[in-house]
């Protein structure tokens, strides 16, 4: 009788420690998952912060800076070259800038598409317009 009791006690002790180990492993997994989420969130926040903080759109025409816009803002402006009357419609939204419409014959500026990275440019040679993204 005493022997059985002792064995029962030993088994319950063993199963108890196994349960503890499982619990610890589950907690570890939860901790890792939490860390992964945290790191992901930090990276996302950092990306938003940097995009929102310094990035600007610089518009220059005939070799001099005409206007500047924040890249994280919104703009829809027509820029007219006083020398030839050429026009480009500049659009900024969603952290990107592009030319939606242009009077130039080649439409190369429209075909640049949407730019958002530091150093990217859109050039319209006929209208002597340069749009640059700068941090």
Q: Which is nearer to Zn ion, 96 or 112 (CB)?
A: 112
3-state secondary structure 75-87: EEEEEECCCCCCE
CB 45 within 8 A of CB 53: no
Q: Which is nearer to Zn ion, 102 or 115 (CB)?
A: 102
Residue 133 binds Zn ion, judged by CB under 5 A: no
Q: Which is nearer to Zn ion, 70 or 108 (CB)?
A: 108
Residue 59 binds Zn ion, judged by CB under 5 A: no
Residue 57 binds Zn ion, judged by CB under 5 A: no
b/e map 12-44, b = 16+ CB within 10 Å:
eeeeeeeeeeeeeeeeeeeeeeeeeeeeeeeee
Smallest distance from the beta carbon of 79 to Zn ion, in angstroms? 11
Q: Which is nearer to Zn ion, 92 or 124 (CB)?
A: 124
Residue 79 binds Zn ion, judged by CB under 5 A: no
Name the H helices within 1-135.
2-53, 108-111
Interface residues toward Zn ion, by CB under 5 A: 102, 104, 109, 124
């Amino acid at each position: 009788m005493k022997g059985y009791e002792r064995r029962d006690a030993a088994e319950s002790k063993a199963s108890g420690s196994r349960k503890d180990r499982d619990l610890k492993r589950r907690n570890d997994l939860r901790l890792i998952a939490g860390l992964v989420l945290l790191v992901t969130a930090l990276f996302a926040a950092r990306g938003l912060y940097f995009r929102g903080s310094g990035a600007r759109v610089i518009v220059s025409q005939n070799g001099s800076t005409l206007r500047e816009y924040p890249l994280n803002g919104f703009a829809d402006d027509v820029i007219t070259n006083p020398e030839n009357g050429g026009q480009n419609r500049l659009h900024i939204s969603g952290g990107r800038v592009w030319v939606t419409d242009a009077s130039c014959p080649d439409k190369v500026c429209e075909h640049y598409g949407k730019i958002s990275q530091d150093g990217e440019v859109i050039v319209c040679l006929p209208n002597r317009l340069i749009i640059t993204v700068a941090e």
